Amino acid sequence: MAKIVQQYIDIAKKRNANEPEFLQTVEEVLTTLEPVLEAHPEFVEAGIIERLIEPERGFTFRVAWIDDNGKCQVNRGFRYQFNSALGPYKGGCRFHPSVYQGIIKFLGFEQIFKNSLTGLPIGGGKGGADFDPKGKSDNEVMRFCQSFMTELQKYIGPDCDVPAGDMGVGGREIGYMFGQYKRLTGQFQGVLTGKGVGWGGSLARTEATGFGLIYYTREMLKANGESFEGKKVVISGSGNVAIYACQKAQEYGAKVIVMSDSNGYVIDEDGIKLDVVKQIKEVERKRIKEYAERVPGAKYVDTPNPWEVPCDIALPCSTQNDIDTAKAEVLVKNGCIAVGEGANMPCTNEAEAYFLEKGVWVGPAKAANAGGVAVSQLEMAQNSQREEWTFEEVDKKLDTIMTKIFKACDDAAKEYGMEGNYLAGANIAGFMKVAKAMMAQGVV
Ligand code: NDP
Ligand code: 2IT
């Protein structure tokens, strides 16, 4: 079976030669699926893997907009509709200068398995643009979002493809995109999630990815006789996922001592004051460095490597390949017992293997950060029913979903003789549901 998996990886390499991030996730997923393909030759026969690694379709488009100096700017926009076996394409949009098709495809591929793990009827997709919202005025962001949506609206719809936020895309951007969609189509529809509360958004969507990460990590710790109580936690990032992961970890009695951004990190041995972080990041859109200027005793370190600070639990919540083997070695040496992946693919494949070898429990991204998309689907359900659920209702459903996802990962790993390998468990459990649906729907 290793041979056939290698053949699939070679096909992916040939077709996507200049997309290392996409190839990284394909390699990671396929190698863990070896025993499943062994047990289910019908999947090999039906070409399930060849079909999974090829997106159903993808769009690339020009996004032209006028900046505040009256100058025309041009960016490149993307939407990859990866797999619709389980439902309409669902996944966020990322606005970041590093975006190119390899990033959108890695995210879209991961989204298939993540969405499957939620147990909800959603397929996998992802979009974005190489636009950098940093330093742009609200009006520039609005004009960009309007131009982006003018093209994107041709391909999306509430029963077809429902985008949402990701890095660089939060409530402000979703609002501008929703307004433009409505202007162009005349339809007030649940075509985007992460909308504002009061005009179709779900309560608890803002908190969902961060809270969900902590619910998943809580279950993983519990299964191994541990908890958040009294643990030192380091978080990378200080965006949407990082902030609400910090909040829930603190509620569970953990001491979060570090948060970061792409310039550096702050360390506060007394525990991060989250109201200060929220003011700097959510309200003022400034750098994390400001924290050290506002909180006595806190220190700013001018390198974006928070993993050099000793901790019990690491929560990477910034970007892909944040933790390589060298950083993993430092974390292990400093006594880290668990990693909860809030970001997508925050560890290199080698770092994942190293953690596994050293007995560090890893909550893999596609399972541990599935809370965001899960609550997005709950937003879709509320939109369809013309209803609004309370914060407590949504949060309770989120907790139940994350608890079930952990159990599915744990059970699948055990079934295939890989107890404690939650990454393999997540890939297998996510894959099985999609593969069965693809089999039932014929060769399409
Ligand atoms: P935000 O844009 O709100 O925050 C991103 C954070 O990551 C910022 O603090 C940013 O710092 C930091 N960051 C970005 N690039 C780098 C880098 N190269 N090195 C160090 N830090 C960096 O995004 P989100 O919080 O929404 O997303 C964070 C991660 O979580 C992403 O991987 C995303 O795909 C994933 N995710 C998000 C979900 C959601 O619902 N939002 C759902 C599931 C996963 P700076 O300001 O300097 O750029
Ligand atoms: O990576 C992700 O799961 C997200 N960015 C959230 C997707 C969504 O549709 O809410």
Q: Distance between CA atoms of 394 and 362, rounded to whole angstroms?
A: 26
> Is the C-beta atom of 373 inside 6 A of ligand 2?
yes
Q: What is the pLDDT of residues 55-106, one digit of tens each?
A: 999 999 999 999 999 999 999 999 999 999 999 999 999 999 999 999 999 9
Whether the predicted pLDDT of 1 surpasses 80: no
pLDDT tier for residue 442 given thresholds of 50, 70 and 90? very high
> Is the C-beta atom of 237 inside 6 A of ligand 1?
yes
> Is the C-beta atom of 146 inside 6 A of ligand 2?
no
What percentage of the chain exceeds 70 in pLDDT?
Answer: 100
Give the mean pLDDT of 127-136: 97
Q: What is the pLDDT of residues 345-404, one digit of tens each?
A: 999 999 999 999 999 999 999 999 999 999 999 999 999 999 999 999 999 999 999 999
**Residue 211 C-alpha to ligand 2 middle, in angstroms?**
14
Amino acid identity, position 53: I
**Sign (positive/negative) of CA torsion 297, 301, 165, 114?**
negative
Whose Cα sits closest to atom 33 in ligand 1? 343
Whose Cα sits closest to atom 9 in ligand 2? 91
Q: What is the pLDDT of residue 213?
A: 99
Give the mean pLDDT of 123-150: 98
Provide the mean pLDDT of the chain. Answer: 98
Q: What is the pLDDT of residue 350?
A: 98
Please state the atom number of ligand 2 nearest to the C-alpha of residue 208. Answer: 10
pTM for the model stands at: 0.98
Q: Distance between CA atoms of 380 and 386, rounded to whole angstroms?
A: 10
Whose Cα sits closest to atom 18 in ligand 1? 262
> Is the C-beta atom of 149 inside 6 A of ligand 2?
no
Choice from 206, 319, 373 to test ligand 2 binding pocket (greatest atom count within 8 A of CB):
373
Please state the atom number of ligand 1 nearest to the C-alpha of residue 242. Answer: 25
Give the mean pLDDT of 415-438: 98
Whether the predicted pLDDT of 2 surpasses 90: no
Q: Give the number of whichever ligand sits closest to the CA of residue 195.
A: 2
Report the catalytic residues: 126
**Residue 344 C-alpha to ligand 1 middle, in angstroms?**
9
**Residue 1 C-alpha to ligand 1 middle, in angstroms?**
36
pLDDT tier for residue 434 given thresholds of 50, 70 and 90? very high
Choice from 107, 111, 177, 382 to test ligand 2 binding pocket (greatest atom count within 8 A of CB):
111
Q: What is the pLDDT of residues 310-322, one digit of tens each?
A: 999 999 999 999 9
Q: What is the pLDDT of residue 351?
A: 98
